[in-house]
């Protein structure tokens, strides 16, 4: 409607109004029904955190578009968003993405000026990239972006063959077309085969049997993980895998025995675990450095801020200038600690562990 019809702009937008109202009505119902996400994780809810979502769009949209056409893969940009790299690597990654995006715009601009179809595919691509900016960056979410990008790229190749420009643009376009054909027709299938091998490796590593989580057995188990290297890789994905493999008509694994896991901290480093009372645990990082997994913008914490979970109340005892916790208290309900199996991370897997005696402390090393 916007680019492929010849009516006035008012009539074009008027015909799109019903779709906008339907979308607005759905989002309104979604919000008031209580759906959405909250807190740091894979997803960012633009309804709950609109400013943070726009901040993510500023980095992820250029990165996704560059990943769609050229290098680097979206997973590389995602690594730059990790708490350990974000402060130092995010800006260089953004500058790289914006530079390549400007170069892509320079190549496509003559085509966009001439072709309404090219503008149609470009707008669809840009619309499709917005919602996926609320998701941690992975290549598989580029599916719908690829529809617009494929059409735009096909039109560019046709434009290059049928509309010769000045010599400088012609030479640049020849190089660009050759690069796109090399990446998308020749290297892309090879990357796909490599990715299959990578997924097979991850499937083997992200497994309760590999990380030695005791998820098989007749009785329900509750775990207290003192420390883990990466919660998603070491706990979340292995547990989900066991749950999936236990379903269906021919399950390959028994139903999971673990019903609940509470992990006190995550990430490489040294931690000090104190037990000032029978049902109270204090955890702090070495030299009062912030907990790396509890400081993504905009989730700032304040001293005394409580977090309530079943059987345990969590309180932030100290924070960094950026609002990241540096010392946390876990106050368990009477008898709750005795019902938990204690484990911790040892280089490649989990091992059984114990809590310090009352009034004592324990040093934790995650590597």
> What pLDDT digit, counting tens, does each position of 71-95 carry?
889 999 998 987 778 778 999 999 9
Residues 106 and 220 in one domain: no
Residues 232 and 356 in one domain: yes
Q: Say if residues 36 and 30 touch (Cβ distance below 8 Å).
A: yes
Residues 302 and 324 in one domain: yes
CA 255/CA 220 separation, integer angstroms: 10
Label residue 48 by pLDDT band (50, 70, 90): confident
Q: Which one of 170, 203, 236 terminates a domain?
A: 203
Residues 232 and 264 in one domain: yes
Given a cut of 90, whether residue 267 has pLDDT beyond it is no
Residues 184 and 218 in one domain: no
Q: How many domains does the chain have?
A: 2
E-strand stretches of 264-305:
269-277, 280-285
Given a cut of 60, whether residue 336 has pLDDT beyond it is yes
In a domain, 147, yes or no: yes
Question: Rounded to the nearest 5°, which phi and psi values hold at 17?
Answer: -60, -45
Residues 280 and 192 in one domain: no
In a domain, 208, yes or no: no
Residues belonging to the chain: 367
Residues 94 and 240 in one domain: no
Label residue 6 by pLDDT band (50, 70, 90): confident
Reduce the secondary structure of 202-240 to three states and give it as a string: HHHHCCHHHHCCCCCCCCCEEEEECCECCHHHHHHHHHH
Given a cut of 90, whether residue 36 has pLDDT beyond it is no
Label residue 51 by pLDDT band (50, 70, 90): confident
Q: Which one of 203, 222, 249 terminates a domain?
A: 203
Distance (Å) of CA 121 to CA 150, 171, 199, 322: 8, 25, 32, 42
Angle at 321 between CA 44 and CA 49, to 5 degrees: 15
Q: Does residue 298 have a cis bond before it (omega within 30 degrees)?
A: yes
In a domain, 24, yes or no: no
User: 319 has which bridge partners?
Assistant: 325
In a domain, 330, yes or no: yes
Residues 149 and 220 in one domain: no
Residues 184 and 242 in one domain: no
What is the Cα gyration radius of the chain?
Answer: 26
Distance (Å) of CA 317 to CA 133, 269, 323, 324, 326: 33, 20, 12, 11, 8
Given a cut of 60, whether residue 294 has pLDDT beyond it is no
Q: What is the pLDDT of residue 289?
A: 74
Distance (Å) of CA 232 to CA 15, 34, 75, 280: 45, 25, 15, 26
**3-class DSSP assignment, residue 312:** strand
Mean pLDDT for 197-207 is 89
CA 314/CA 281 separation, integer angstroms: 10
Q: Which one of 168, 203, 238 terminates a domain?
A: 203
- Mean pLDDT, rounded, of the chain: 88
In a domain, 155, yes or no: yes
Distance (Å) of CA 328 to CA 118, 152, 255: 54, 52, 34
Mean pLDDT for 196-211 is 90
Q: Which two tokens stand for residue 137?
A: 């960056």
Q: Helix, strand, coil shares of the chain as percentages rounded to 5?
A: 50, 20, 30
In a domain, 337, yes or no: yes
Name the DSSP class of 163: S
| CB-based contacts of 144, cutoff 8 Å, min separation 6 | 128, 132
Mean pLDDT for 300-307 is 86
In a domain, 18, yes or no: no
Q: Say if residues 155 and 111 touch (Cβ distance below 8 Å).
A: yes
CA 111/CA 117 separation, integer angstroms: 10
Q: pLDDT tens digits for 210-263?
A: 999 998 776 788 999 999 988 888 999 999 999 999 999 999 998 889 999 999
Q: Which two tokens stand for residue 112?
A: 């966009």
Nearest to 348 by CA among 219, 246, 207: 207
Q: Does residue 60 have a cis bond before it (omega within 30 degrees)?
A: no
Angle at 353 between CA 324 and CA 350, to 5 degrees: 75
Residues 59 and 189 in one domain: yes
Q: What is the pLDDT of residue 358?
A: 95
In a domain, 9, yes or no: no
Residues 146 and 287 in one domain: no
Q: Which two tokens stand for residue 270?
A: 């040294």
Residues 197 and 243 in one domain: no
Domain that holds residue 234: 213-366
**3-class DSSP assignment, residue 363:** strand
């Amino acid at each position: 409607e916007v680019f492929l019809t010849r009516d006035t702009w008012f009539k074009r937008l008027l015909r799109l109004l019903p779709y906008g109202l339907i979308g607005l009505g759905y989002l309104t119902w979604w919000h008031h029904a209580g759906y959405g996400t909250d807190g740091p994780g894979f997803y960012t809810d633009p309804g709950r955190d609109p400013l943070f979502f726009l901040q993510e769009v500023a980095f992820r949209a250029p990165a996704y578009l560059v990943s769609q056409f050229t290098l680097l893969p979206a997973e590389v940009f995602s690594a730059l968003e990790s708490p350990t790299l974000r402060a130092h690597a995010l800006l260089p990654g953004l500058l790289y993405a914006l530079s390549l995006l400007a170069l892509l715009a320079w190549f496509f601009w003559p085509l966009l000026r001439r072709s309404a179809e090219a503008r149609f595919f470009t707008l669809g691509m840009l619309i499709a990239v917005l919602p996926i900016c609320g998701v941690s960056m992975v290549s598989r979410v580029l599916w719908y972006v690829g529809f617009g990008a494929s059409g735009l790229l096909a039109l560019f190749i046709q434009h290059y063959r049928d509309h010769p420009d000045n010599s400088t643009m012609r030479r640049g376009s020849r190089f660009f077309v050759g690069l796109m054909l090399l990446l998308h027709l020749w290297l892309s299938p090879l990357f796909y085969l490599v990715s299959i091998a990578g997924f097979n490796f991850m499937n083997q590593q992200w497994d309760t049997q590999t990380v030695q989580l005791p998820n098989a057995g007749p009785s329900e188990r509750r775990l207290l993980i003192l420390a883990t290297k990466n919660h998603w890789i070491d706990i979340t994905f292995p547990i989900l895998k066991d749950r999936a493999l236990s379903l269906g008509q021919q399950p390959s694994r028994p139903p999971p025995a673990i019903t609940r896991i509470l992990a006190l901290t995550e990430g490489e480093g040294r931690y000090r675990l104190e037990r000032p009372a029978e049902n109270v645990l204090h955890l702090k990082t070495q030299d009062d450095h912030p907990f790396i997994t509890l400081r993504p913008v905009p989730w700032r914490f304040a001293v005394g801020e409580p977090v309530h979970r079943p059987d345990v109340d969590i309180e932030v005892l100290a924070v960094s200038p950026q609002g990241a916790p540096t010392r946390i208290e876990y106050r368990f309900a009477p008898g709750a600690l005795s019902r938990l199996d204690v484990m911790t991370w040892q280089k490649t897997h989990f091992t059984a562990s114990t809590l310090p005696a009352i009034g004592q402390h324990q040093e934790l090393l995650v590597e």
